[in-house]
């Protein structure tokens, strides 16, 4: 996730507005930033690594001349945070500049093609293919608008782009799967990833749709379908948001916004370059001993992955809480060991300590992280960026499901590379994985209202039990952690609800069961749910919408609309959604602020 902005003013200087917008967009990314302006037939670019204030102090971003400007705050996805990789990116002539948010899946192939035609690349980003592609079409005689249309038809993936040209009195922008909204001001036209970027100047907005290309001039805009070149109508509307509400896209808390962002962040995880995941799969498969080390939520993703790797690839990859690793497993580590460290921030001290110990003893280090340039990416032999964008809510939500998705892909690849999956079974798993973002979206839609009513009903409950067996033991652990972190509710997570637990928790408790349609855990979960109901506990069951057996034992059935034949190893993805929502709404019902848990702080990247 990155923040992009552009403005075309009737009068005055664009650069101070671009700078102010970058500050307001910094929550979307902050490892580097930059801007480009157009003045008297020239493009001016300033960009560097660091937060906006630091870069501005060095480069004086508000001094660039001209009435047209674009800007970018970066959260690196391809290419580490460096000055060359910062946006905007230019073509060979320096007359076209582009800022981009999203992932261009086929950039390697385009880059090779463009290099063969003589284009010279200055960065390692996916974005840089765009100015060169536009340049290529312009040298064939097309104008900026037509060349952009042709260029974006060649792109696969997600992209919101803002584009300026030295000789063009305006700017061009394009939207495909990444957010982009126009602002219609009295003093000019604006475009940004999010409304807060231009809210001080206008509250008249035009949300663009996928496939739209807009041309902004000082006194108006036109929107086209870039595939056909035909004009389309997008009506302006007025929003009544404060800057704070706009940053949260109208949601009351970042946590709720990020829960709702999951279909989008999951789609990003499915665009990963499989070559790196395949390298990881091979290094895990051939290891003598293989471990996953992580803390907190990331550890829960490893628990789920360990089940999936064992079940699909028949390979034991032990999940270990990072703080436990060195003392208990440190002696077994050597040159034949592979350690997969999973850390959203890539900076968690215990995870890094485990990794460093293992590296010193000659182990192979792999990493999955959300922060390119973090320490984990510097020590790992192979790493993969989970592509979630910054997570502002302290309690991890979208980064958890992103980790689950990346790790599930890894488990399937491990199984394929070890020859443990038939062709049909592998195809089926990939098909279900690719459908996960839509399933998660449907689950959110189908369950949120019910969860709100459950949160009201149970907000005063003293104790909770989360029960999930097999791979969904991870779901129980994570559901419990969320409730503990933001609603401070004493709770346990267990694969089996034995009699002692039932007796200790007593009738004043709610037991929440995760019940997939198949798998070894199903019978035990159902029989434990019956036991809990008999003892007078309130029983909530999360199950498939047509699960009659589950409905029979439940006081409350949370009905999930996933395909009943979804392989059990993938079910932690839909099942965690109602539990994230439950923790959020219980926290709100208790009058707490879910974005500011008392006892938690996120690890931050050391810059």
602 is catalytic: yes
Minimum gap (Å) between residue 600 Cβ and ligand BG6: 5
Residue 354 is encoded by which pair of tokens? 């485990």
- Residue 464 to residue 578: CA distance in whole angstroms: 15
**301 touches 294 (CB < 8 A):** yes
Shortest reach from residue 540's CB to ligand BG6, in Å: 24
Q: Which is nearer to ligand BG6, 270 or 394 (CB)?
A: 394
| Residue 285 neighbours by CB under 8 Å, 6+ apart | 313, 315, 414, 417, 418
Q: Is 464 helix (H, G, I), strand (E, B) or coil?
A: strand
245, 211 contact by CB (below 8 A): no
Q: Please report which residue ranges of 250-397 form alpha helices under DSSP H.
A: 254-260, 262-269, 274-285, 296-308, 322-329, 349-360, 375-379
Q: Which residue, 318 or 602, is less far from ligand BG6 as judged by CB?
A: 602
Interhelix angle 349-360/322-329, rounded to 10 degrees, is: 30
Beta-bridged to residue 533, according to DSSP, are: none
- CB 316 to ligand BG6: min, Å: 23
Tell me which residue has tokens 């922060």: 371
Q: Nearest approach, Cβ of 583 to ligand BG6 (angstroms)?
A: 13
DSSP alpha helices (H): ranges in 519-595? 521-534, 548-553, 572-589
Tokens of 555: 């006081």
**Shortest distance, position 462 Cβ to ligand BG6, whole Å:** 24
* Tokens linked to 174: 């394009």
Q: Are strands 463-467 and 509-515 parallel, antiparallel or unpaired?
A: parallel
Residue nearer to ligand BG6 on the CB measure, 178 or 369? 369
Instruction: Give the Cα separation of 465 and 459 in Å (integer).
Output: 14
Task: Find out whether the peptide bond into 342 is cis, omega within 30 degrees of 0.
Answer: no
The dihedrals phi and psi of 515, each to the nearest 5 degrees, come to: -125, 95
Closest separation between CB of residue 361 and ligand BG6, Å?
22
Task: Tell me whether residue 193 or residue 388 sits nearer to ligand BG6 (CB atom).
Answer: 388
CB of 545 to ligand BG6, least distance (A): 31
Catalytic residue among 140, 420, 602, 607: 602
> Which two structure tokens, joined as six digits, stand for 128?
């840089």
User: Of 430, 155, 426, which is closest to residue 270 (Cα–Cα)?
Assistant: 430
Interface contacts to ligand BG6, rule CB under 6 A: 295-298, 343-345, 348, 351, 396, 600, 603
Give the pair of three-digit tokens for residue 548: 């009659």
Minimum CB distance to ligand BG6 smaller for 345 or for 408: 345
Residue nearest to ligand BG6 (CB): 296
Residues acting as catalytic residues: 2, 602
């Amino acid at each position: 996730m990155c923040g992009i902005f552009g403005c075309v003013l009737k009068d005055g200087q664009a650069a101070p507005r671009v700078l102010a917008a970058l500050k307001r967009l910094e929550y979307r990314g902050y490892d580097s930033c930059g801007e480009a302006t157009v003045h008297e037939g020239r493009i001016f670019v300033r960009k560097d690594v660091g937060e906006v204030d630091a870069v501005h102090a060095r480069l004086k971003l508000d001094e660039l001349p001209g009435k047209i400007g674009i800007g970018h705050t970066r959260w690196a996805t391809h290419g580490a945070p460096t000055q060359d990789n910062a946006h905007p990116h230019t073509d060979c002539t320096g007359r076209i500049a582009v800022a981009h948010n999203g992932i261009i899946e086929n950039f390697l192939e385009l880059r090779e093609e463009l290099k063969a035609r003589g284009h010279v690349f200055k960065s390692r980003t996916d974005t840089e293919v765009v100015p060169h592609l536009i340049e290529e079409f312009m040298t064939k005689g097309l104008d900026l608008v037509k060349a952009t249309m042709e260029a974006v038809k060649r792109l696969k993936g997600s992209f919101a782009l803002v584009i300026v040209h030295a000789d063009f009195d305006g700017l061009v922008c394009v939207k495909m799967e990444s957010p982009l909204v126009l602002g219609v001001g009295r003093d000019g036209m604006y475009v940004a990833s999010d409304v807060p970027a231009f809210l001080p100047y206008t509250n008249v907005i035009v949300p663009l749709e996928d496939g739209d290309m807009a041309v902004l001039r000082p006194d108006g805009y036109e929107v086209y379908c870039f595939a056909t070149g035909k004009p389309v109508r997008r009506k302006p509307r007025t929003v009544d948001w404060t800057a704070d509400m706009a940053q949260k896209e109208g949601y009351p808390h970042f946590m709720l916004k990020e829960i709702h962002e999951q279909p989008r962040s999951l789609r990003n995880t499915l665009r990963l370059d499989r070559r790196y995941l395949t390298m990881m799969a091979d290094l895990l498969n051939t290891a003598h001993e293989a471990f996953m080390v992580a803390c907190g939520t990331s550890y829960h993703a490893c628990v789920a992955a360990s089940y999936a790797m064992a079940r699909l690839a028949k390979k034991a990859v032990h999940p270990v809480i990072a703080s436990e690793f060195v003392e208990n497993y440190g002696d077994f580590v050597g040159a034949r060991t592979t350690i997969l460290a999973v850390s959203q921030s890539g900076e968690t001290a215990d995870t890094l300590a485990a990794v460093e110990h293992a590296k010193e003893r000659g182990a192979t280090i792999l990493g999955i992280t959300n922060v390119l340039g973090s320490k984990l990416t510097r020590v790992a032999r192979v790493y993969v960026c989970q592509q979630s964008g910054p997570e502002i809510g302290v309690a991890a939500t979208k980064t958890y499901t992103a980790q689950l998705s990346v790790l599930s892909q890894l488990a399937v690849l491990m199984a394929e590379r070890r020859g443990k999956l038939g062709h049909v079974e592998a195809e089926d798993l990939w098909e279900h994985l690719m459908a996960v973002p839509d399933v998660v979206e449907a689950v959110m839609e189908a369950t949120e209202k019910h969860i709100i009513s459950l949160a009201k009903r149970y907000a005063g409950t003293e104790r909770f039990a989360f029960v999930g067996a097999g791979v969904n033991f991870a779901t129980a652990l994570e559901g419990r952690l969320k409730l503990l972190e933001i609603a401070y509710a004493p709770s346990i997570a267990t694969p089996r609800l034995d009699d002692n637990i039932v007796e200790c928790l007593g009738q004043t408790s709610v037991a929440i069961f995760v019940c997939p349609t198949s798998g070894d855990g199903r019978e035990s979960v159902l029989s434990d749910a019956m036991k809990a109901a008999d003892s007078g506990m309130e029983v909530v069951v999360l199950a498939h919408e047509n699960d009659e057996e589950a409905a029979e034992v439940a006081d409350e059935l949370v009905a999930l609309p996933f395909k009943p034949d979804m392989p059990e190893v993938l079910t932690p993805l839909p099942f965690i959604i109602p539990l994230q929502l439950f923790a959020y709404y219980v926290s709100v019902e208790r009058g707490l602020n879910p974005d500011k848990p008392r006892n938690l702080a996120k690890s931050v990247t050391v810059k």
